Amino acid sequence: MKVALVIYFFTDVKGGVERYTYGLAKGLLSKGIEVHIYAHKWRISEPSLPFFFHKVPAMGFYTAFKVLSFAKNSAEMLKNEHYDVINGFGRTYYQDVYRVGGGCHIEYLKRTHPGMANPFWRFFIMNNPRNAAIVSVEKRTFRKGNYRKIICNSQLSKNEVRQYYNVPEEDIEVIYNGVDTEKFHPRDRGRFRDKIRRTYGIKENDLAVLFAGTGFERKGLKHAIDTAALLRHQYPVKLLVTGKDSAGPYRSELKKMKMPETVYFLGWRDDIQAVYASSDAFFLPTLSDSFANACLEAMSAGLPVVTTTSNGASEIIREGVNGYVINNPADTEGAANKLKTLFDEKTRAQMSENARKTALEYSAETNLQKVVALYEQIVKMKQG
């Protein structure tokens, strides 16, 4: 089988969609599939892997132009080639399979821009050149004839696609994200737990709650900090924050709240496995995530997860068994009450075990098998 994967930036060092695409590409190679990468740029840690790279021209100096030019140029390049399957990842409209990795842009704007509730401000937000370009490409992506199958990584994203673009249900396959269950493993606690906790002065009886994600505002860091503020006077809680974003505004707010020793900013960590291993729970009160893969990584590492219904990963969480789900990211009191239960060591140990069991059901290999099965279905559809 000869497969083309289409993505603006092909890399394994940043971004949920990017890292997923890279992992899938490696998995396809392991199945003996020839993999061609259509990207504007790429940066990978294993350059010896036998991918075939095709440079897609795109205007990189302005987001609207970047989105439109990459979609147009990748389509023109692919029309002149023959592949058994073309799989698009993010803002493309010429493919056999399109994977929805970040939900629909209109829904994202509704959840992250309060002004969307006001018709006046909604007009200006929607007609911002960047947003207009993204929505324009999305409309073409989901137009009948521009795909054969749509992959959604959660029921949440499936519902969005059905709501905004009226895609027939039979055209959509829900395939949950997969995780490398060997890379993220509870056994790492023995190697890393004490070292990192000592570095930040975290005591053994402290509950180290991890927040990990790029884009602190969308991921709900303010709500995570406010939740820690509710707990800190009665419970020994420490909030560890890692990800790519500016910590400056949050540090200033923490000084005003007089709680700098409750929240620790670790910056971007290449050794994220070690950070999971040093933590006791994972908390992501995100405003919008079709499926935050960090939740699945945390569960694979044995961490109970507390997140929101705005996160597709909430669909694999069983309340009080392997984690908790809150309806509103701003419900800090509700989140605090969930986290309180994890101060009980026996409860936490049982939920940790259950989280790991759940992650084993969503391994990267399981995800790969389902995607390859869909590719084989596409090949048969093409053969008539």
pLDDT tens digit at each of 384 positions of the chain:
999 999 999 999 888 899 999 999 999 999 999 999 999 999 999 999 999 999 999 987 778 999 999 999 999 999 999 999 999 998 999 999 999 988 889 988 998 888 999 998 999 999 999 999 999 999 999 999 999 999 999 999 999 999 999 999 999 999 999 999 999 999 999 999 998 899 999 999 999 999 999 899 999 999 999 999 999 989 999 999 999 889 889 988 888 888 878 999 999 888 999 999 999 999 999 999 999 999 999 999 999 999 999 999 999 999 999 999 999 999 999 999 999 999 999 999 999 999 999 999 999 999 999 999 999 999 999 987
CA–CA gap between residue 337 and residue 346 (Å, rounded): 17
Q: Answer yes or no: do 369 and 299 share one domain.
A: no
What confidence score (pLDDT) does residue 150 get? 98
Both tokens assigned to 70: 């990459």
113 and 172, same domain (yes or no): yes
Domain identity same for 244 and 335 = yes
Q: Look at the chain and report how many structural domains it folds into.
A: 2
Closest CA to 72 of 3, 127, 137: 137
Rounded CA gap, 148 and 143, in Å? 10
How far CA 173 is from CA of 61, 163, 178, 236, in Å, comes to 35, 16, 15, 44
**325 vs 292: CA distance, rounded Å:** 14
Please check whether residues 11 and 112 belong to one and the same domain: yes
Quick one: pLDDT at residue 346? Answer: 97
pTM beyond 0.85, yes or no = yes
State the amino acid at position 156 in one-letter form.
L
Q: Does residue 166 sit in the same domain as residue 211?
A: no
Dihedral-angle region of residue 213 (phi above 0 means left; psi in -120 to 50 means alpha; beta otherwise): left
The reply to whether 51 and 170 lie within a common domain is yes
Cβ within 8 Å of residue 32, ≥6 positions away? none
User: Greatest CA separation found in the chain?
Assistant: 67
- The answer to whether the beta carbons of residues 277 and 193 sit under 8 Å apart is yes
Asked whether residue 238 falls in the same domain as residue 372, the answer is no
Query: Alpha-carbon distance 232 to 133, whole Å?
Result: 44
User: Do 176 and 360 meet the contact criterion of CB atoms below 8 Å apart?
Assistant: no
User: Are both 139 and 221 inside the same structural domain?
Assistant: no
At residue 298, the pLDDT reads 98
For residue 59, the domain's CATH number is: 3.40.50.2000
Q: Are residues 96 and 225 in the same domain?
A: no
| Same structural domain, 325 and 204 | yes
- The packing angle between helices 332-340 and 221-231, to 10°, is 60
- Can you give the pLDDT at residue 244? 87
Residues ≥6 apart with Cβ < 8 Å to 9:
15, 18, 39, 40, 41, 42, 43
- 3-state SS string for the chain: CEEEEECCEEECCCCHHHHHHHHHHHHHHHCCCEEEEEECEEECCCCCCCCEEEECCCCCCCHHHHHHHHHHHHHHHHHCCCCCEEEEECCCCCCCEEEECCCCHHHHHHHHCHHHHCHHHHHHHHCCHHHHHHHHHHHHHCCCCCCCEEEECCHHHHHHHHHHHCCCHHHEEECCCCECCCCCCHHHHHHHHHHHHHHCCCCCCCEEEEEECCCHHHHCHHHHHHHHHHHCCCCCEEEEEECCCCCHHHHHHHHHHCCCCCEEEEECCCCHHHHHHHCCEEEECCCCECCCHHHHHHHHCCCCEEEECCEHHHHHCCECCCEEEECCCCCHHHHHHHHHHHHCHHHHHHHHHHHHHHHHCCEHHHHHHHHHHHHHHHHHHHHC
> What's the domain range around 239?
186-360
| Strand ranges across the sheet with 52-55 | 52-55, 34-39, 2-6, 85-89, 97-100, 149-152, 172-174
- Same domain as 190, residue 139: no
Q: Are residue 161 and residue 216 in the same domain, yes or no?
A: no
